Amino acid sequence: MANPRGRRDRRATRARKPLLLGALLSLIVWASAQEVMAASVADEVGDGIRKALVKVYVSSQAPSEVEPWHAGAISSATGSGCVIAGRRIVTAAHVVARHTYLKVRRHGETRKHDARVLFISHEVDLALLTVDDPGFFEGVEPLGLGPLPTTQSRVTVLGFPMGGDTLSLTTGVVSRVEHVQYSHSGGEFLAIQVDAAVNAGNSGGPVVADGQMVGVAIQSKGDAQNISRLVPTPVVRRFLDAWSTERTTGCRCSASAGRRSRTRP
């Protein structure tokens, strides 16, 4: 006599085979999609863009809040940045705030170069650096500023997050473009929200689309995963205009508004 339990086991095994086959096919499709996306990102972020990437090395010393007459402890951190026109480097203000030591290293190189701050806006969390050694900029094609991206457009976040020394590329989609509070200054300014992680060390790095920079990574939303905010290029342009005006006229301009005041001699 046939074993009823054995027949049930065989039927259950036959029923599971299509499910396992479907799961395997789904896994293959997902892996293929990831390969296609990775290849697309690699094509979009070519060697020219990669050469413009910079890792920022900083030591800073904040005054003691309890005993302000005593110097605070020295801390070290890293950030990211990129070369733009005019032998300049854009990064985040909070990366270089109160720095006592500042060096930069180009992607793909080992040598660190002394850098200095040309202009900084804590309002919009942006800083402009330069390197006096002209050889630092040789062979680098500056990254251009692109337009404000639209929602649902795909972007790539580039930088040097903590935990490694190589360039990291993370893709994401623009979910919002709106005024939000910048954590560094507490002011509300235009920002881009994307569903890509901006980890420690990524701050100041460029976000690119179609071969151009469309934003600067500055912060992640603390109560949510993979929600990050960027300074958009209209604010970056205003920041660069403020630096140009101060340099040529001696007037200190706000990087976020039209207020200006004459600097003291």
Question: Which one from 80, 168, 203, 228 is the annotated catalytic residue?
Answer: 203
Catalytic site includes residue 125: yes
- Give CA–CA dist 159/54, Å, rounded: 8
Amino acid at 78: T
Give the pair of three-digit tokens for residue 247. 């340099």
- The string of DSSP codes covering the chain is ---HHHHHHHHHHHHHHHHHHHHHHHHHHHHHHHHHHHHHHHHHS-HHHHHTEEEEEEEEEPPPSS-TTS---EEEEEEEEEEETTTEEEE-HHHHTTEEEEEEEETT----EE-EEEEEETTTTEEEEE-S-GGGGTT--PPPB-PPPPTT-EEEEEE--TT-SS-EEEEEEEEEEEEEE-TTT--EEEEEEESS---TTTTT-EEEETTEEEEEEEEE-TTSTT-EEEEEHHHHHHHHHHHHHHHHH-EEE-SSSS-EEEPP-
Cα 178–chain centre separation: 18
Catalytic site includes residue 94: yes
Output the furthest CA–CA distance in the chain (Å, rounded).
106
Question: Which one from 94, 99, 107, 184 is the annotated catalytic residue?
Answer: 94
Catalogue the active-site residues. Answer: 94, 125, 203
